[in-house]
Amino acid sequence: MPLRGHALALAACLAVLGCRNDMASVADFETLGGPSQVLGEATLEYSEEGRLTHRLSAARMTRSAEEPPVWEVSGGFALDVLDEDGLLDARLEADHGHFLEESRFLEAEGNVVLHGSEGDTLHTELLYWSADSDHVHTPAPVEVRTPQGTLLGKGLESDARFQRYRILEPTGTFLVDTTNHRP
C-alpha cells in the first residue's frame, strides 16, 4: 500500500477514535454550570389534581441546571394565588426572587407587595412564600394598608392569601375602638 493509503487509513482511525466520549465526559459537560433554560416575558402555571392553583409571570426567568431546579425571576414578577375556581385570590409582586420548583417555595426581594383578597396590602422588601404550607412570612419591616388605616411593624406571618396575618413587632400608634366593649 502506498504511503498515501497508510496516511488516509491512519487519519480515518484517529478521526473515529477521537470522536468518542464516555458517559462521564458527557455528564461533566452537561454540568458545567449556567442555566438550563432562559425565558423572557414568560408565565408558568401550576396545578394540583388538574386544578390551576398558582401562576408565576416574570420579565425574565432563568432555570438552574442543578437538581432540584431553581428559577431565578427578575425584571419584575407576579405570583398569582388562585382560588378553587381558578380566579385571582391574592397577588404577590416584587423586583426579583428565587422559586424552588419542586417545593414551590418563593423568596421575593425588592419592592415586595402582597395584595390580599380582603383588600389589605402588605409592603416590605423581603418575603418568603410557600405553597405547600400555605404560609407567608418575613423578618423585615412591614407596612400593611387596610381600608381602616395603616399598620407598621417588623416581621409578619400570614396565610398565602393574606386574609389572616400577624405583625410580629408592631410599631406606631393604634386607636382602639372600645364603644362595642361588652362588660
The tens digit of pLDDT for each residue in 99-139 reads 998 888 999 999 999 999 889 999 999 999 998 888 999 99
Report all structural domains of the chain as residue ranges with CATH numbers, in order of start.
33-171 (2.60.450.10)
Cβ-count burial 56-76 (b if 16+ within 10 Å, e if not)? bbbebbbbbeeeeebbbbbee
At residue 20 the predicted structure's pLDDT band, cuts being 50, 70 and 90, is low
Cα distance between residue 154 and residue 166, in whole Å: 10
pLDDT in tens, 51-96: 998 899 999 999 998 888 899 999 999 999 998 888 899 999 999 9
Helix H or strand E encompassing 30: helix 23-30
CA–CA separation, 136 and 157 (whole Å): 6
- Report whether 71 contacts 63 (CB < 8 A): yes
Rounded Cα distance, 94 and 76, in Å = 6
Q: Strand pairing partners for 77? A: 58, 94
Q: What is the pLDDT of residue 173?
A: 66
Length of the chain as a residue count: 183
CB–CB of 92/79 below 8 Å?
Answer: yes
Q: How far is CA 86 from the centre of its chain?
A: 19
Candidate from 21-30, 69-78, 146-155 with smallest mean pLDDT: 21-30
d(CA 95, CA 77): 6
Task: Name the most confidently modeled range: 15-19, 34-38, 133-137.
Answer: 133-137
58 vs 72: CA distance, rounded Å: 10
User: How far is 116 from 67, CA to CA, in rounded Å?
Assistant: 33
The model's pTM: 0.74
Q: What is the mean pLDDT of residues 158-170?
A: 93
